């Protein structure tokens, strides 16, 4: 029997506000078994970039990362947001360790090739070092992962936090019984976008295809669910899509094998 | 026989410029045995704070760290500067791991009590966890330490990089044969402040007292040397004060037991 491990991905909004961060860390502490926290920080990055006179350019919800913006996200994700979480978890008695992909070479990526859009210094993940993460986790550490990777040539790269969470969950699936939890602003995947209570409790791959065809599921939820099914195919036991205020594993939309 | 370990402390200027950082990482890679890099970043912090409209206030060369400035140094030291170094060392084949004191609870501190001056969110070191650092080092990691600690209650604290280097060297002295290297802008401790070549090759504690009394040594060099002797008394084998361009261990001012 593999030991249980939960990878929780939370977006920027939750970790950027003092009160919601506090609640999250409190709830996260209560999750049993091994755990990993993956965080965003886009709102803070946008705010600080603006204060520094750097304009945030988004295409399809993805940030265009030029050299100046890379410095901003490296500061904000790897420094400000990550260390606030780490210090907060330490105060809750969890032995947190903040990581970007460069630290211990945990996540190697390559700069996204330019096709129609030049995303700039954005990394597509090549490899997550599950061995080294597993070693830390077995020693009682709680990795806190910022959405940053490196290319092995000395460059940091901005990397989507959902991707980091998904790839990390996959890389740990042969060592642990992994639950991957994506937190976002809704209670789960909704059957009626106008009704926040219309949470679909379970989704199979067939449901997903049907829902995307009939338009029930659209927009940013599509890559999130694709990520979820990809994780399940790679050995992750369970994916839960829910709110950051409901990470006890009993709520939201569940995807299982 | 203990294995050799070198703790190198470099100031902000060296690590903040692309070309000098590159040279430093190259030279650092050539140091034999285990190693730890401790970095500053004050110039970048001052620059980014200014761009954000936050004024840097210094008293006796020490930064007053209010809440806004704490966010800046957490971003700049823990994120921007630290991750550039880590990615750079990874590119040189060293398995670097960026750490603040909060990560793995490596350095616990307390907020400096207010006497004549309120330094704000500045931490005085209580304890460096030499065991956990030693474990990482023995596994081939190169810790890269930012001048930030935590108080165990959820707060990051700004902490002098020379202090971090000194306390880390001391905490590792029972496990390794430690050399502590303080890099600054001069070639070493000078007997004539007007003559950059007048490097004093060795200083004993008696020399130090004489030199401070007759005014040969003054200003910022005094706490640096006090730090050095304190490290020697705590079991560090050798302290070297030199330039960041001369970290091969053969140059500068040497302090030994």
Interface residues from chain B to A (CB-CB < 8 Å): 48, 51-53, 71, 74-80, 82-84, 86-88, 90-91, 95-98, 100, 102-105, 141, 148, 150, 152-156
Q: Please give the CATH number for the structural domain made up of B3-256.
A: 3.40.1160.10
A180 vs A170: CA distance, rounded Å? 9
What is the distance in angstroms between the Cα of A155 and the nearest Cα belonging to chain B?
A: 6
Kindly list the residues from chain B whose CB atom is less than 8 angstroms away from the CB atom of residue A79.
74-80, 82-83
Comparing CB atoms, the residue among A77, A87, A97 nearest residue B156 is: A87
Q: Per-residue pLDDT tens, chain B, 257 aa: give them.
A: 899 999 999 987 788 888 889 999 999 999 999 999 999 999 999 999 999 999 999 887 788 999 999 999 999 999 999 999 999 999 999 999 999 999 999 999 999 999 999 999 999 999 999 999 999 999 999 999 999 999 999 999 999 999 999 999 999 999 999 999 999 888 999 998 889 999 999 999 999 999 999 999 988 889 889 999 999 999 999 999 998 888 888 899 999 98
A59 vs B2: CA distance, rounded Å? 55
Q: Which two tokens stand for residue A71?
A: 């410095």
Contact A99, A128 (CB under 8 A): no
Test mutation, A53, A72, A90, chain B, max B CBs within 10 A:
A90
Comparing CB atoms, the residue among B82, B98, B153 nearest residue A91 is: B153
H-type alpha helices, chain B: 12-16, 18-30, 42-51, 67-75, 82-91, 130-138, 161-172, 205-213, 221-233
Neighbours of A110 (CB within 10 A): 15
Q: Which two tokens stand for residue A72?
A: 């901003």
B44 vs B63: CA distance, rounded Å? 13
Which of these, A94, A77, A191, lies nearest to A141 by C-alpha position? A94
Q: Per-residue pLDDT tens, chain A, 257 aa: give them.
A: 899 999 999 987 788 888 889 999 999 999 999 999 999 999 999 999 999 999 999 987 788 999 999 999 999 999 999 999 999 999 999 999 999 999 999 999 999 999 999 999 999 999 999 999 999 999 999 999 999 999 999 999 999 999 999 999 999 999 999 999 999 888 999 998 889 999 999 999 999 999 999 999 988 889 889 999 999 999 999 999 998 888 888 899 999 98
Which of these, B126, B116, B180, lies nearest to B157 by C-alpha position? B126
Contact B15, B8 (CB under 8 A): no
Comparing CB atoms, the residue among A88, A98, A153 nearest residue B103 is: A98
- Residue A176 makes CB contacts below 8 A (sequence gap 6+) with A2, A3, A4, A5, A34, A134, A137
CB contact under 8 A, B75 and A71: no
What is the distance in angstroms between the Cα of A228 and the nearest Cα belonging to chain B?
A: 29
Residue A76: φ, ψ to 5°: -75, -50
Kindly list the residues from chain A whose CB atom is less than 8 angstroms away from the CB atom of residue B79.
74-80, 82-83
State the Cα angle at B226 between B223 and B232, rounded to 5°.
145
B137 vs A130: CA distance, rounded Å? 19
Residue B109: φ, ψ to 5°: -140, 175
The alpha-carbon radius of gyration of chain B (Å, integer) is 17
Which of these, B233, B240, B237, B236, lies nearest to B254 by C-alpha position? B240
- Residue A72, SS3? helix
A100 vs B86: CA distance, rounded Å? 10
């Amino acid at each position: 029997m593999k030991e249980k491990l939960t990878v929780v991905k939370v977006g920027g909004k939750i970790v950027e506000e003092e009160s919601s961060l506090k609640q999250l860390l409190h709830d996260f502490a209560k999750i049993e078994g091994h755990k990993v926290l993956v965080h965003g920080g886009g709102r803070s990055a946008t705010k600080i970039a603006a204060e520094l006179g750097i304009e945030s350019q988004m295409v399809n919800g993805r940030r265009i990362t030029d050299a100046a913006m890379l410095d901003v996200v490296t500061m904000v994700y790897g420094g400000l947001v990550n260390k606030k979480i780490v210090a907060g978890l330490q105060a809750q008695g969890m032995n947190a360790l903040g990581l970007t992909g460069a630290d211990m070479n945990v996540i190697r990526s390559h700069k996204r090739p330019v096709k129609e859009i030049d995303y700039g210094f954005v990394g597509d993940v090549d490899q997550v070092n599950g061995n080294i993460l597993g070693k830390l986790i077995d020693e009682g550490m709680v990795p806190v992962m910022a959405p940053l990777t490196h290319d092995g040539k000395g460059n940091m790269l901005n990397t989507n936090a959902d991707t980091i969470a998904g790839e990390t969950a996959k890389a740990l699936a042969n060592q642990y019984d992994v639950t991957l939890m994506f937190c976002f602003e809704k209670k789960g995947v909704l059957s009626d976008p106008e009704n926040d209570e219309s949470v679909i409790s379970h989704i199979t791959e067939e449901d997903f295809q049907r829902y995307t065809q009939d338009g029930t599921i659209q927009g940013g939820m599509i890559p999130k669910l694709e990520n979820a099914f990809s994780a399940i195919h790679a050995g992750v036991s369970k994916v839960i899509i829910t709110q950051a205020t409901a990470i006890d594993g009993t709520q939201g939309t569940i995807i299982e094998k």
